[in-house]
Amino acid sequence: MQNKLALLALSFITALSLNAKDSDLVMATTTSTDNTGLLDAIAPVYKDKTGVELKWVAVGTGQALEMGKNCDADILFVHSPAVEKKFVDDGYGVDRTAVMYNDFILVADKSLADKFKDKDLSEIFKIIKDEKIKFFSRGDKSGTHNKEISVWKKVAGDVPEKENWYNQTGQGMIATINIAAEQKGVTLTDRGTFIKYEDGLKGNSNMQIISQGDESLKNFYSVMAVNTKNCPKADYENAKEFINWIVSDEAQKFIADFKLMGKPLFTPDAGKRIE
């Protein structure tokens, strides 16, 4: 199923690339920028400003970077710094620029909340492992999945992929939260998507935050243009224009003001080039 979805997404973005007009900008992006509604909100504002229509497909960061390598997008908007840096170092991306951040949080069914009360991140992961509490991973090489892997390795030495209680959904974030809710388990999510999830249920979710605020769980988003040395037909001019706009005062204020349930989904983070 995961491979089929990836192929469908790749076919879709390839069609966009082949049929795009000069005034279109094709973006490969992470599911969280799409799930939260941020891009739906930004796209018309950007078109009014520049005349350029933003078109995107949302997949995990790993798949988005592959689309960049395969010349199936003009620009990437992703959130997995280590793999982004390698992407740039390998010559596939240029002008990687910080845009915003939120944070990753652990959420669990309310029936589990007392187990984790007043526990730090390492203690929570140890309880999950020792008590074999159902844990749901995206398992899709997304930015969220990469972060989860790094946490497991830090607190447990390795990822418990072979354990029966460790489940890889191969799906996006909201779908994974839904599965964790149905199975009364735990998952790692970005805060923005969880707010969107709660908003969709009008605040009547059985899932609640059990860990937040750990410095290691900050979730940084950046944009970068696809390198025309690798992809000569990539629209660098429009990609660069979007990069300049998304870090402008106007766009950064838009990001700061973008809220659901009265809660901000992202914090502006422009003003520095990431090497």
Instruction: Identify the pLDDT of residue 22.
Output: 52
Q: Alpha-carbon distance 58 to 56, whole Å? A: 7
Residue 216: strand, helix, or coil: helix
Strands 166-168 and 53-59, by their bridges, are unpaired
Q: Are 158 and 129 in contact (CB under 8 A)?
A: no
For residues 37 and 34, give the distance between their C-alpha atoms in angstroms, rounded to a whole number.
Answer: 5
Kindly report, residue by residue over 215-253, the tens digit of the pLDDT.
899 999 999 999 999 999 999 999 999 999 999 999 999
Residue 158 in tokens: 């390795």
77-88 exposure pattern, b = at least 16 Cβ within 10 A, e = fewer? bbbbbeebeebb
DSSP state of 51: S
Residue of 118, 162, 119 whose CA lies nearest to 137? 162
* pTM of the model as a whole: 0.85
pLDDT recorded at residue 43? 98
> How far apart are alpha carbons 125 and 72 in whole angstroms?
38
Q: In the CATH scheme, what is the homologous superfamily, with its name and number, of domain 2-102+220-268?
A: Periplasmic binding protein-like II (3.40.190.10)
Name the nearest CA neighbour of 61 among 4, 141, 176.
Answer: 141
**What Rg, from alpha-carbon coordinates, does the chain have?**
19
CATH topology of domain 103-217: D-Maltodextrin-Binding Protein; domain 2 (3.40.190)
pLDDT recorded at residue 273: 57
Judge contact between 218 and 267, C-beta under 8 A.
Answer: no
SS3 38: helix
Q: At 55, which helix (H) or strand (E)?
A: strand 53-59
Q: Which residue has the tokens 């999945």?
A: 145
DSSP 70: T
Which two three-digit tokens encode residue 108? 């669990």
Residue of 208, 210, 211 whose CA lies nearest to 195: 208
Stretches in the chain below the pLDDT threshold 70: 1-22, 271-275
Residue ranges per domain, the chain? 2-102+220-268, 103-217
Q: Is the separation of the CB atoms in 41 and 258 below 8 Å?
A: yes
Domains 2-102+220-268 and 103-217 share a fold: yes
Q: What is the pLDDT, as a whole number, of residue 20?
A: 44
Q: Give the 3-state secondary structure percentages of the chain, helix then strand then coil, rounded to 5.
A: 45, 25, 30
Structure tokens at 29: 């992006």
Amino acid at the residue 121:
L
